[in-house]
Amino acid sequence: KQEVTQIPAALSVPEGENLVLNCSFTDSAIYNLQWFRQDPGKGLTSLLLIQSSQREQTSGRLNASLDKSSGRSTLYIAASQPGDSATYLCAVVDAGGTSYGKLTFGQGTILTVHP
Amino acid sequence: DAGVIQSPRHEVTEMGQEVTLRCKPISGHDYLFWYRQTMMRGLELLIYFNNNVPIDDSGMPEDRFSAKMPNASFSTLKIQPSEPRDSAVYFCASSPTSGRFFFGPGTRLTVL
């Protein structure tokens, strides 16, 4: 059974810092990996999607990398801003069978960026 | 596109009552998912559909839960009878094949 772990569970940084969020998964046979953002009381917003054949994806100040063989992904946020404060969730879709299309989530990293 | 639409946004009911949650996915998406989020267990997949057909319902906790997708633009999740431990935020999400997941705003369910 796929398990996804995110480290750290919480992170507090001053505005302007570059930071890294970590995600690991136990079964490397994945179809893709996604990073989401969730604001308090809101739904999830997809930030980046990395297919299993890709190594990284970039969107603005966000960069996500994927090392499938080691079961790891990182989300890099450059020049953090208070508006980046949210919970960041990593999720994988397993390859094959009836797992196709099903996201397995980590518990999330709660990020606070203070002015 | 308006995104994934869920209704109601909030539901407060008494134990034993029937609860029906509704979802309209994004047009053209092949997959529809129902997730439940609690502080204790995080996000859990309840059931998902591909082209309106249920594919995996192994996450449905009990027979009290049922889900339908009568057409490509509508799905329901029903709890009958509801219990206090069903209190959670229920999310509907849709996705094109191999694509990003788009989540709705969720329904916050409180069972007294």
Partner B contacted by A52 (CB < 8 A): no
Q: Are B101 and A107 an interchain contact pair (Cβ–Cβ within 8 Å)?
A: no
Nearest CA in chain B to A39: B105
Closest to A20 measured CA to CA, from A111, A115, A107: A111
* Bridge partners for A58 per DSSP: A63
Q: Does the CB of A59 have a partner CB in chain B at under 8 Å?
A: no
pLDDT of residue A101: 65
Paired with A74 in beta bridges are: A22, A65
**Residue B109, pLDDT above cutoff 80:** yes
Distance from CA of A15 to the nearest CA of B (A): 28
Residue scoring higher pLDDT (B109 or A94): B109
Chain B residues whose beta carbon lies within 8 Å of the beta carbon of residue A98: 55-56
Question: If contacts are CB pairs under 8 Å, which of residues 11-40 in chain A contact chain B?
Answer: 31-32, 34, 36
**pLDDT tens for residues B67-86?**
999 999 999 999 999 999 99
| Closest approach of B14 to chain A, Cα-based (Å) | 22
> Average pLDDT, stretch B91-102?
88
Whether A103 sits inside 8 A of B33 (CB atoms) is: yes
For chain A, say whether B45 makes contact (Cβ under 8 Å).
Answer: yes
Q: Which residues of B56-84 are buried (b: 16+ CB within 10 A; e: fewer)?
A: beebbeeeebebebeebeebebebeebee
Contact B95 A32 (CB under 8 A): no
**For residue B72, what is the DSSP state?**
T
In DSSP notation, B9-70 reads: SEEEE-TT--EEEEEEPPTT-SEEEEEEEETTTEEEEEEEEETTEEEE-TT--STTEEEEEE
pLDDT of residue B98 exceeding 80: no
In this prediction, residue B61 carries a pLDDT of 86
Q: With a cut of 50, which residues of chain A have pLDDT below it?
A: none
Alpha-carbon distance of B86 to B59, in angstroms, equals 13
Q: Quick one: average pLDDT of B77-106? A: 93
Strands B10-13 and B107-111: parallel
CA distances B81 to A107, B6, B86, B111, Å, are: 29, 21, 10, 10
Q: Report the pLDDT value the prediction gives residue A94, as an integer from 0 to 100.
A: 85
